[in-house]
Structure 1
Amino acid sequence: MLRKPHPLKATLRRAIAPALFVAVLTFFGAYAFLGPNGVLALGDYRRQIVQRERVYATLDQRRAMLKNRVALLDPRHANPDMVDELVRKELNVAHPDEVIVPLQ
């Protein structure tokens, strides 16, 4: 005598695979939207890029200024004013009648 399976059990057995598929799909969909690399994090990444570009622009200006100062101190053709300024600054040497005006 064969027993006929209960209709609820048969329905649940058939629904397990699609339910797992929907659960996995929902998980990955939510992760793509809310995760650390998701759609909501895109605005934060863009804000960080703008902020870092400002920092890089400032650093580029500073690098250009330092590159100019290094070029002025090249031993082959040093700028006498720059050399005099650095020597007086480093050695703290000034004549009594001189007035030192810091530029920065």
Structure 2
Amino acid sequence: MRRPPREQLRQGLALMALLALTGFAIAGPTGLLAWSENVQALEQRSAQVVELTEKRDALRNRVNLLNPESADPDLASELVRKNLGVLHADEVMITVEDE
């Protein structure tokens, strides 16, 4: 029993739509093939977050040490000597550059 041409056209379009959706599910930007790339990108971003968190914490600590109400005298002295070049005649300044 042969189906009418209109029904065949509908089924053909439905089949093409199903195949297109299957293709997107496999090879699309969020499909199965992109899954490993997304996992790798997530791991890289997580490592960046850890690195930036460490830098932020170091900067927060430095800001707290430079608080005008309770500045750390050693850090303040170091910064004055480094930035203004204020040294006693018998002193030698050794600096370590930050990365």
TM-score, with normalisation over the residues of structure 1? 0.81
Instruction: Report runs of 4+ in structure 1 exceeding 2 Å deviation.
Output: 92-97
Which residue identity is paired with 1:100?
M
Write the distance in 2 (CA, Å) between the matches of 1:52 and 1:22.
40
Matched residue SS, 2:29:
coil
In structure 1, what is the equivalent of residue 34 of structure 2?
41
Q: What percentage of residue pairs aligned between the two structures are identical?
A: 35
Matched residue SS, 2:67:
coil
Write the distance in 1 (CA, Å) between the matches of 2:67 and 2:45.
32
| Equivalent residue for 1:16, pick from 9, 26, 30 | 9
1:90 aligns with 2:95: no
Write the distance in 2 (CA, Å) between the matches of 1:15 and 1:78.
82
In structure 2, what is the equivalent of residue 63 of structure 1?
56
Q: Give CA deviations for 1:51-95 in whole Å, capped at 9, x if unaligned.
A: 011111111111111111111111111111000111112213323
CA RMSD of the aligned region, Å? 1.9
Matched residue SS, 1:37:
coil
Write the distance in 1 (CA, Å) between the matches of 2:64 and 2:79.
14
Question: Can you give the 5+ residue segments of structure 2 that lack an aligned partner in the other structure?
Answer: none
Shift of 1:29: 0.8
How many positions carry a matched residue from both structures?
96
1:102 aligns with 2:95: yes
Shift of 1:103: 3.1
Write the distance in 1 (CA, Å) between the matches of 2:95 and 2:37.
41
